[in-house]
């Protein structure tokens, strides 16, 4: 096995051309340099240097080893730099779990921002609904969750977590093109009490938002069709299969040709999105920039 410190000595001898000069540069004695060169030759099984009246020169085997030495020592420099950055909290990996539209809305822009401002921080993203991402943080499976408030979720004052509010967005009513309320400027939820509904499965935080909004309007929604994919929800509404409430950001880029999207009359149901980390981790030098980048993306 070739020792890296002996490669340093080989390169110093190649650079300085004499054992004495190499020794001075390395703060070693000439005899110590000679001993290390001899040991390196024993390790490689090749004569690496030739001594002459004008100093030392590398043999062909020495030149081959020198070409690899430069690559090896450069990689070691990079390793030391990354370890130093890691030790100071400037480099490392942060894992973020977020629901799909949260990824599009704030996580992806935060990843781009960090790539420019903090290239030492590597972000790994996992798609997970809020009811799954918060337990993942608590179980130390991920570092940050981008989640939605829902019934049964750990409260903002939960001693295990630190919450960072990101944004709030309304749900809009989505009804088929030929629906009786298609021409209304706003849709009263109570007027949809007898319609079939399309919505997320129970357990999905958005399911709670829809059910609570309908309960506040005086009825329980009759959920005929269930999907956690809002594209599927809109597609079913386009097929006249029912009505739905969909977060506004989730409607961006969808084919809305055969549906009508209207604001909800009165107080609109809203999903409040936040980032969560294990309490105390918000000040970690890797996690803090991620939370800041998520906040900036939310404000923009």
Continuous segment of H or E residues that includes residue 88: none
Return all residues near 21 (Cβ < 8 A) that are at least 6 apart: none
| Domain ranges within the chain, ordered by starting residue | 4-83, 89-167+272-298, 168-270
- Confidence tier at 217 by pLDDT (50, 70, 90): very high
With a cut of 80, say whether residue 89 has pLDDT above it: no
Q: Are 164 and 289 in contact (CB under 8 A)?
A: no
The domains spanning 89-167+272-298 and 168-270 adopt the same CATH topology: yes
Residue 228 has phi, psi (to 5 degrees) of -85, -5
Return d(Cα 142, Cα 123) in angstroms, integer: 11
**Ranges assigned E (strand) in the chain:** 49-52, 55-58, 92-98, 121-127, 144-148, 161-176, 196-199, 222-226, 244-247, 259-262, 270-278
Locate 105 and state its tokens: 């809305």
Return d(Cα 56, Cα 72) in angstroms, integer: 22
Q: Class of 168-270 per CATH?
A: alpha beta
Question: What does the pLDDT read at residue 51?
Answer: 86
Tens of pLDDT, residues 108-167: 999 999 999 999 999 999 999 877 899 899 888 999 999 998 777 788 888 889 999 999
- Label the pairing between strands 270-278 and 144-148: antiparallel
Q: Are 216 and 266 in contact (CB under 8 A)?
A: no
Helix (H, G, I), strand (E, B) or coil at 9: helix
* Summary mean pLDDT of the chain: 91
CATH number for domain 89-167+272-298, candidates 3.30.230.10, 3.40.190.10, 3.40.250.10, 1.10.10.10: 3.40.190.10
Question: What does the pLDDT read at residue 45?
Answer: 94
Question: What does the pLDDT read at residue 13?
Answer: 92
Question: What does the pLDDT read at residue 265?
Answer: 94
Q: Are 148 and 273 in contact (CB under 8 A)?
A: yes
Neighbouring CB atoms inside 10 A of 219's CB total: 13
CATH 1.10.10.10 fits 4-83, yes or no: yes
Return d(Cα 103, Cα 51) in angstroms, integer: 64
With a cut of 90, say whether residue 300 has pLDDT above it: no
Continuous segment of H or E residues that includes residue 155: none
């Amino acid at each position: 096995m070739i020792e890296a410190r002996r490669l340093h000595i080989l390169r110093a001898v190649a650079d300085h051309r004499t054992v004495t000069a190499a020794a001075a540069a390395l703060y070693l004695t000439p005899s110590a340099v000679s001993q290390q060169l001899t040991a390196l030759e024993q390790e490689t099984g090749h004569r690496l240097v030739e001594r002459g009246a004008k100093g030392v020169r590398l043999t062909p085997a020495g030149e081959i080893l020198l070409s690899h030495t430069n690559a090896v020592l450069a990689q070691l420099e990079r390793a030391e730099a990354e370890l130093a950055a890691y030790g100071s909290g400037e480099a490392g990996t942060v894992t973020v779990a977020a629901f799909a539209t949260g990824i599009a809305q704030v996580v992806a822009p935060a990843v781009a921002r960090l790539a420019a401002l903090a290239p030492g921080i590597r972000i790994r993203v996992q798609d997970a609904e809020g009811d799954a991402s918060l337990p993942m943080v608590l179980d130390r499976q991920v570092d940050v969750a981008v989640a939605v408030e829902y019934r049964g979720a750990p409260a903002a004052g939960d001693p295990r977590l630190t919450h960072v509010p990101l944004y709030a967005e309304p749900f809009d009513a989505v009804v088929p093109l030929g629906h009786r309320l298609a021409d209304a400027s706003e849709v009263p939820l109570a007027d949809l009490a007898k319609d079939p509904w399309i919505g997320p499965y129970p357990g999905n935080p958005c399911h709670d938002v829809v059910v609570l909004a309908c309960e506040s309007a005086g009825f329980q929604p009759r959920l005929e069709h269930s999907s956690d994919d809002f594209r599927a929800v809109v597609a079913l509404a386009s097929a006249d299969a029912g009505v739905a409430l969909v977060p506004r950001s989730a409607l961006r880029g969808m084919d809305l040709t055969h549906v009508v999207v209207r604001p909800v009359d009165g107080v609109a149901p809203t999903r409040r999105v936040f980032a969560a980390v294990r309490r105390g981790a918000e000040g970690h030098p890797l996690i803090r920039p991620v939370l800041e980048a998520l906040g900036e993306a939310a404000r923009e």
